[in-house]
Structure 1
Amino acid sequence: MKPLSDVTTGAPDGGRPWRTAVADLLQRTRLAQPDELAAAVAAAAALLRLDVWMYLVDQEQRVLRPVPRPPREAPEPLAVESTVAGRVFMTVQPLPSTADGQRRLWLPLLDGTERLGVLEFVVHGEAALDDPGLLSGCDLFGQLVGHLVATKVPYGDALLQVRRTRRMSEASELVWRLLPPLTFACERAVVSAILEPCYEVGGDGFDYAVGGRSLYFSIFDTAGHHLRAGLGTAVVMSAIRAARRAGNGLYAMARAADRALEAHLPELRFTTAVLGELDLDTGRLRYINAGHPMPLLIRHGKVVRGLEGGRRMPLGLDDPQIDVAEETLERGDRLLLYTDGVTETRDHRGGLLTAEGLVDLVERDAGQLPAPETLRRLCHAALALYDGPPTDDVTLMLLEWSHDAGPAMVRPDPVPPAAGP
C-alpha cells in the first residue's frame, strides 16, 4: 500500500491535511451543541477519507457505548473485557483491526490522561494501518476530540446520557458534579479514583489538586445514606477546598470542615476522611486520618504496611488535636485509599471482605498496568465477591509517585499487527 504522504497530501508538508481537518473540526464545533459533536467529528474526518465513531465508557467502566450521530444508525455497544476496543481502553494504546472487509484503527479517547472511551477510525483510503503518518495524524485528531468532549459535557445532557444505563439518584447527581476527573497525571505522579455504585452514591467522595511541587488529595465518607449524606460530603469538600485555596495547610483544612459541618449540618453525625499532601520533588507525604480506614502503601506490587499515623476524630466532631503524620515514599510507590464500603459488604457466604482480603486483591491486581486500569480491575474484583449490589458506597483512590508513570500514559507505542474482529 502507498504511504500516507502519497495518499493524502501530494505536497511537501505531509501534515497539512491533518491540520486542515483539525481546523475544520474546531470551526464546526464552536457553536455545536453537545448532541451535535459526533456528527461534527465525522464530517471533519471525512476530509481524510476516514469514518469516525466515538465511544464513551459507561459509568461502571464495563461497556463502551457509541455516541449517536443521526441519521446514521449507531453501532452496538462494545464490552471492555472482550473486544479490541476494550483492549485499547484498558491499555491506552492504539490497535488496528480488520473485520467485515473494513480496516480500522482504534485509539484511546482521552482528555489529557482521563480515559473517556475510544475512537474507531474506519480507513477508506489506501493508507496502510501501520503507517506512522496515519497513527500520528489520528492521534492528533483524537486529542482534540477528547478535549472537545470534556468541554461540551457541561453544556447539555446528551454526552452524559450516553454513559448512563439508568437514572441517577439525587445524591449521585450532586456528588458527581462536585468530583474532579477520575484520573490526572503529570511528570511526577498519577492520581486515579473510582466510585461505586455509580447511580446510588451516598456520602462517599474524593478530591485532589496539583500545583507547583504539591499534590493535595482527600477521600471522604459521610455517615448516613442518600441525599443527606451527599450534602454532608459536599459541605466538607467545599470547606476543605476553600481553606486550601486560601493557602491553609492540612490541619486548617480539617478544622474548616469541622466548623462547616457544625454550622450548616449539625444534625449529621460526622465524616471520616484522609487528607494528604505529597511533595512531588522529594516524595515526602504528610497526612491526617480523621477516623478513616488506613491507607495502604504498595511497593513493587506488594502491600508493605498500612499508614497508622495522623489520627484524630472524624470531621464534624470538634477535635483540635494537631497530629500531621509524615512518611517518605520511594520512586514507584503507590498509595491506596478506600472507604469502608469496600471491606464491610458481605459476600455470598455472609463473610466480610476485611482489610486483609483487600490486601490480597491489591497484590493480585497491582501489576504493571497503569494506575487507572489497576484501580478499575481492583474495584470490579471486589464487587464480584459481593452477594448482590454493595450496601454502602465503594470508593478507591490510587496515587503513584514516579517520574515514569505519567509520561507512560501518554506515549503511544508502535502500532502492533492488525487484530481480528
Structure 2
Amino acid sequence: MARDNWGRLRGRAEHRAQLFAYYGRLPPRRDRADTLILPARYSGGSTTSLAGASPPPQRRSISPGPGTVPSVSSAEAEAEALTKALTEAEAEALAAAWARAFAHVVDRTHLATGDELSAIVDDAVRPLGLRTVVLVADLAQQVLTPLTAQAASALSVDGTLAGRCYQTGQIIAGGDPEQRVLWVPILDGTERVGVMRADLPDPACTDPATHGDPDEQTQHVARGGGAPLVATDGPELRRWLWSLAGMTGHVVMTKLVYSDRLRRIRSNGPLSPASELLWQLLPPRTFATDNVVVAALLEPHDQVAGDAYDYNSDGRWVDLAVFDGVGHDLPAGLTTAVAITAIRNARRSEETDLLALAARADELLTTTPGAQLFVTAALARLDTTTGRLRYLLAGHPPPLLVREGHVVKELAAPPRPPLGIHASGDSGPGGLVAEEQLQPGDRLLLYTDGITEARDAAGEFFGEQRLVELTERTAADRLPAPETLRRLSRAVLEHQGGKLQDDATLLLVEWSSTAKQTVLPSSI
C-alpha cells in the first residue's frame, strides 16, 4: 500500500515537473540518482540526460534509494513542498494557456460563419483539458439549442440545469464523478444569449487535455499542445470560463446579423413579416449600468405586429418607451416602426423634451402616405444620478411603481392622445409631462394592454390586479429583471392557454446601485 501511494505521489510531482519544464519555468530536475534532465529551454530544444551529474544544491532528490520505500507521510510532505514551490509558475503557465485560447477564438472568428462558433471555442480550450458546447436561447426563452454544425436536441429552459443557469445568470455545477460539468451563462453585455456547457476532464484520466481519448491525444500533440494542463473546478477556472462565455456572446450576436441559421435558431420557427420587421428594430432585451437595469419582453415573439419597446442610455440619462400600434398586421408594425424612427431621430438631434418627441412622432405619422393609424405610447426619461423621472402617456396604460416588493402606485398622469393624433399642451405644472421621484431600489413596470386584457377560456381578463400580484411576488423573490419578465410572460400565456390573442410588451426598469449584481454571476 505504501509503495502504491508513493507511486501516485511521485507521478503527480513528475507531471508537474514535466509541465513547467515545458514552459521553461524550472531549473534542471533530477529524474534518477544518476540522471539529470534538462528542460528544452536550457538544452537548445531537446531533452538532455547527463549521467553522473550532481543535482542543483537547492533541491534534493525525492527518489527512494535502492531497496527502500519512504513512508506515506514523508512522501506527502515532499509532494506538498513541490506543489507550493510550483504554485506561482503554475498560475503563469495556466494564464499563458488561457491567453492562447482567447487568441485562438479571436483569430478564428474573423472569418467564421455562425454555425462554426461552438467548434472554434471547443477547439480553443481542449489543450486545457476542457470540452465545450455553446447553446443559444430562442426569442421565446423556452429552449436552448446547441450551436453545432449538425442538428442537435434542444434543452428546455424550465426543469434543466442549463435552464437554471440561464434563468439565474449563475454558473451551475452538475454531472457526476465520472463527468463533471459546469454550465456558464452567455451574455452580450447583460443581454441573455444562452449558456455554455464546459465538460471538465475525468479525474482518473492520465492526460486531461485529451479526456483519455488516444485519438484526441494524437491531435493534441499535433497542435503543439505540449504537456497537458489540468483544469479543475474552482474560482479561477470559473472566472476564465465566464470571460470566455462573454467573448462568445459578443461574437454570436455579431454573427447573428448575417446568419439566417442563427436567426432560425433564435426564432425557433418562422416569424411573421411584421415580427421580422420589428425584431430588427429593437435594442437588446436587457441592458445594465452601475446604477440601472433595463429589461424588456415582447410576445408572441413570432406574431407580434404593433407592440414595441425602446430605450437609450447616454451618461446619466436613460430614455424609455413602450409602443402599441393599432391593429395586428403588417400595417400596424409599419406604423409602430415609423413612431420609433421619429422619436429616435429627434433624440439623436439632441431633442430631450418629451412633448417635443411626441410631436415629432405625430408629424411623421400624419405625413406618411397610407392609412391614418395611430400608436399609444409611454415615454419616460430617468436621471440615474438623482432618480428623477419625467414621463408622458399618449393614450397608454399607466406604469406601475414597485417599492420594497410592493406596487405602491400607478403613474397616472393625465394622458395626451395617442401618437399620430395632434395634441396641444405644455410641460408646466398640471401639464401632460409628469414627474416622480424614485427611491433607490425602486422598479418601474411599463406594459401594453395585451397583458391586462388577455382572456382565458371563460373570457376572464388577466387584469391589473393579477399583474400587480405577480409583480409583487417576483419582486419578493429578488429575481433578475429579465427573469422577472419571463415569468410574468409565462403566467399570461398560461392564462390564455399557451397562445396570446394580442401583442404583449413589458419593460422593467430598476434604479439601484446593486441591481447589476442580479444579472451577473455572484461568484465572479
Shorter-chain TM-score category?
Answer: over 0.9
Distance 1:390 1:16, change over 3 A: same
2:257 is paired with a residue whose SS is helix
Long gaps (5+) in structure 1: 415-421
Code of the residue aligned with 1:144 in structure 2: it is M
Which of 286, 290, 293 lines up with 2:394 in the alignment? 290
Q: Which amino acid aligns with 2:284?
A: P
- Aligned partner of 1:350 in structure 2 is 459
Distance 1:22 1:388 in 2: 42
Question: Does 2:301 align with 1:226?
Answer: no
Aligned partner (choices 490, 496, 500) of residue 390 of structure 1: 500
* Distance in 1, Cα, partners of 2:234 & 2:452: 48
Tell me the equivalent position of 2:217: none
Decide whether aligned partners of structure 1 residues 8 and 46 sit closer, same or farther in structure 2, where only a CA change above 3 A counts: farther
Structure 1 residue 153 and structure 2 residue 256: aligned? yes
Residue 418 (structure 1) aligns with: none
Q: 1:361·1:382 contact (CA, 8 Å) conserved in 2?
A: no
Cα shift at 1:163: 2.0
Taking CA–CA contacts closer than 8 Å with sequence separation of 6 or more, which of the two structures ends up with the larger relative contact order?
1
Aligned partner (choices 514, 519, 522) of residue 404 of structure 1:
514
Q: Post-superposition shift, 1:129?
A: 4.7
SS at match of 2:449: coil
Could you tell me which amino acid in structure 2 is paired with residue 404 of structure 1? T
Does residue 117 (structure 1) correspond to residue 220 (structure 2)? The answer is no
CA distance in 2, matches of 1:363, 1:7: 58
Match of 1:33 in 2: 113
The percentage of aligned residue pairs carrying the same residue is 44
Let me know the Cα RMSD of the aligned residues: 2.1
Residue 419 of structure 1: aligned partner: none
Cα 1:9–1:411 change in 2 (3 A) is farther
What's the secondary structure of 2:452's corresponding residue?
coil
Task: Give the corresponding residue for 1:262.
Answer: 366
CA contact (8 A) 1:189 1:402 kept: yes
Q: Give the Cα–Cα distance (whole angstroms) in 1 for the partners of residues 282 and 123 of structure 2.
A: 33
Does the 8 Å CA contact 2:128/2:230 hold for their aligned counterparts? no
Asked whether the 8 Å contact 1:7–1:127 carries over to 2, the reply is no
- C-alpha displacement at 1:128, in angstroms? 6.4
Among 157, 165, 168, the alignment partner of 1:91 is 168
Matched position secondary structure for 1:56: strand
In 2: Cα distance, 1:317 partner to 1:269 partner: 9
Q: Distance in 2 between matches of 1:372 and 1:284?
A: 23
- Tell me, yes or no, if structure 1 residue 341 matches structure 2 residue 463: no
- TM-score w.r.t. length of structure 1: 0.93
Q: Structure 1: which amino acid aligns with 2:97?
A: P
Gap regions ≥5 residues in structure 2: 1-8, 26-88, 202-207, 209-228, 427-431
Partner of 2:219: none
Q: Pick the aligned partner of 1:237 from 307, 326, 340.
A: 340
TM-score in terms of structure 2 length? 0.75
Moved more, 169-178 or 360-369: 360-369
Deviation at 1:69, TM superposition (A): 2.9
**8 A Cα contact 1:187 1:407, kept in partner:** no
In structure 2, what is the Cα distance between the partners aligned to 1:265 and 1:352?
A: 36
Code of the residue aligned with 2:455 in structure 1: it is R
Q: Name the CA distance, whole Å, in 2 between partners of 1:337 and 1:224.
A: 20
Match for residue 130 of structure 2 among 50, 54, 59: 50
Higher helix share: 2
For the residue of structure 1 that corresponds to 2:139, the secondary structure is coil
Contact (CA 8 Å) 1:232, 1:265: kept in 2 or not? no
Aligned to 2:144: 64
Query: 1:312 and 2:392 equivalent?
Result: no
Tell me the distance in 2 between the aligned counterparts of 1:212 and 1:9. Answer: 48
Deviates more, 1:150-159 or 1:262-271: 262-271
Report if the CA contact (8 A) 1:276-1:286 is conserved. yes
Note the C-alpha offset of 1:255: 0.4
Determine if contact 1:8/1:48 at 8 Å carries over to the other structure.
Answer: no
Match of 1:417 in 2: none
User: Which residue matches 1:107?
Assistant: 184
